[in-house]
């Protein structure tokens, strides 16, 4: 059994997901791409039967939610017609929901969201946060489904040209706050909302790390946070070989699991991943770690709790100051011009 420590935003009530609200740990969302051109697994699960089988496999590995998408949002991708997107996702959603899975639909279109919810989806995962389709807020409000609103500055063909920030953490937080207000005006209830910082979307590689390191800034908005770092380009560049060639997508899965653990410790509501088992284990480790850190350290009977040695405390403080000051050749996250790659190649 996984020990639990309450977190105010991670464990907040999410409308439409009573069994996944307040469970005391970070959830795991498994990706089911029903596309021929997604960056890491395009075409593998393109047939409905293969996509359903893959979804069931992810459930067996510990996925709490299955995110079904029929349109790639990788940089430079071209949009597919709405009827084609519907033909891809609806049969898969229907069959997975019939098997008892909690299903999310990954779409920016209100009409697709409405049809998907009618087919059994309980979450709408919109990478545009309602900006791509002005009808999305109304559709989500009427459906009562949970809604993931991601930070977004434009479609895949233009987003890499829109990655200038004064302060990436503050700017993303404030732009998400604006989306929350607009969605509220459309009738979306606060309890429906989940926020996503949009790693890799209009964010060059170095800009993704401060967002991960400062999830607490997003928690200030009072709603659960979803982290989608799986296999993205900034991990490929981090893991580049000595010649500077980025690690291929599947070689980024171990790093993805590490981010799942760290995000869980930081209070993420959910991590969205392509391979589930390692991240499902990682969030359990994070929950046990947090539970052990919550109270006094356990020692022999009658012994007093210990505090961190002064030398260790000083080392941690020095390391933090060095990062902020940009020492040792590290870029400061406040400087959006300090970029080393082109971002996150999402979905």
Residues serving a catalytic function are: 232, 272
Tokens of 239: 């893991």
Instruction: Give kind and range of the element (H or E) at residue 238.
Output: helix 233-238
Residue 179 CA, distance from chain mean position: 17
| Whole-angstrom distance, CA of residue 329 vs CA of residue 326 | 6
Task: For residue 342, give the nearest of 199, 200, 155, 171 by alpha carbon.
Answer: 200
DSSP annotation of 341: S
Beta strands in the chain (DSSP E): 27-33, 65-69, 103-106, 123-126, 146-150, 193-196, 226-227, 270-273
- Yes or no: say if 292 and 267 are a contact pair by the CB < 8 Å rule: no
How many Cβ atoms are within 10 Å of 324's Cβ, its own excluded? 12
How many Cβ atoms are within 10 Å of 302's Cβ, its own excluded? 5
């Amino acid at each position: 059994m996984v020990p639990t420590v309450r977190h105010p935003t991670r464990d907040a009530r999410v409308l439409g997901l009573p069994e996944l609200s307040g469970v005391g740990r970070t959830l795991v969302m498994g990706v089911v791409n029903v596309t021929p051109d997604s960056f890491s697994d395009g075409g593998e699960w393109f047939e409905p039967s293969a996509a359903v089988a893959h979804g069931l496999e992810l459930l067996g590995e510990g996925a709490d939610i299955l995110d079904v998408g029929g349109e790639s949002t990788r940089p430079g991708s071209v949009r597919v017609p709405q009827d084609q997107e519907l033909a891809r996702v609806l049969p898969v959603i229907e069959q997975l929901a019939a098997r008892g899975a909690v299903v999310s639909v990954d779409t920016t279109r209100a009409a697709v969201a409405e049809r998907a919810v009618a087919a059994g989806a309980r979450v709408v995962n919109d990478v545009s946060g309602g900006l791509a389709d002005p009808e999305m807020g109304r559709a989500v409000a009427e459906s009562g489904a949970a809604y993931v609103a991601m930070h977004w500055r434009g479609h895949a063909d233009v987003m890499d040209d829109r990655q200038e920030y004064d302060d990436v953490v503050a700017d993303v937080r404030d732009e998400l706050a604006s989306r929350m207000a607009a969605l509220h005006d459309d009738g979306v209830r606060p309890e429906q909302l989940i926020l996503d910082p949009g790693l890799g979307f209009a964010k060059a590689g170095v800009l993704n790390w401060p967002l991960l390191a400062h999830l607490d800034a997003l928690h200030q908005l009072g709603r659960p946070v979803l982290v989608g770092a799986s296999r993205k380009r900034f991990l490929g560049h981090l893991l580049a070989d000595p010649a500077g060639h980025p690690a291929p997508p599947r070689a980024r899965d171990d790093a993805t699991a590490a981010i799942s653990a760290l995000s869980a410790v930081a209070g993420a509501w959910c991590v969205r991943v392509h391979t589930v088992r390692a991240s499902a284990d990682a969030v359990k480790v994070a929950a046990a770690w947090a539970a052990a850190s919550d109270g006094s350290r356990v020692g022999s009977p009658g012994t007093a709790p210990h505090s961190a040695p002064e030398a260790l405390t000083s080392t941690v403080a020095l390391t933090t100051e060095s990062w902020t000051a940009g020492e040792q050749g590290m870029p400061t996250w406040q400087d959006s011009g300090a970029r080393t790659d082109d971002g996150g190649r999402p979905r």
